[in-house]
Amino acid sequence: MVDDMSELQSIMKRGNLNPNYGKRTDYATKAKISQTLQKNWRQMRGSSHDEADSKSPAVDNEKTATNEIISKVLREELEQFL
């Protein structure tokens, strides 16, 4: 019964029946989704990985630099796309 309901809900939200169909997702929303997904993955991996990452400031600096570069490139790509 649950599978039938899930299938029905899936059909009811496909294509132009989806309330977000044809709408663009703005950069702020995409960033929030990305942060939430990263947080969830960190929680799923367990705290042992997070503790190892937080012990090294070089790793944090490298991650920050990488994130800044990725953010800059994404912004530029988004501006060109729009």
Question: What pTM did the predictor assign?
Answer: 0.38
Which 3 state secondary structure label does DSSP give 63? Answer: helix
- State yes or no: pLDDT of 36 exceeds 90: yes
Q: What is the pLDDT of residue 35?
A: 93
- State yes or no: pLDDT of 2 exceeds 80: no
Average pLDDT for residues 25-39, to the nearest whole number?
91
Asked whether residue 68 is assigned to any structural domain, the reply reads: yes
Asked whether residue 18 is assigned to any structural domain, the reply reads: no
Asked whether residue 34 is assigned to any structural domain, the reply reads: yes
Please choose, from the candidates 22, 27, 10, the residue with its C-alpha nearest in 3D space to the C-alpha of residue 71: 27
Asked whether residue 36 is assigned to any structural domain, the reply reads: yes
When divided into structural domains, the chain yields a total of: 1
Q: What is the pLDDT of residue 54?
A: 53
Tokens of 19: 């309330």
Domain that holds residue 50: 24-81
Asked whether residue 61 is assigned to any structural domain, the reply reads: yes
Asked whether residue 29 is assigned to any structural domain, the reply reads: yes
Q: What is the pLDDT of residue 58?
A: 60
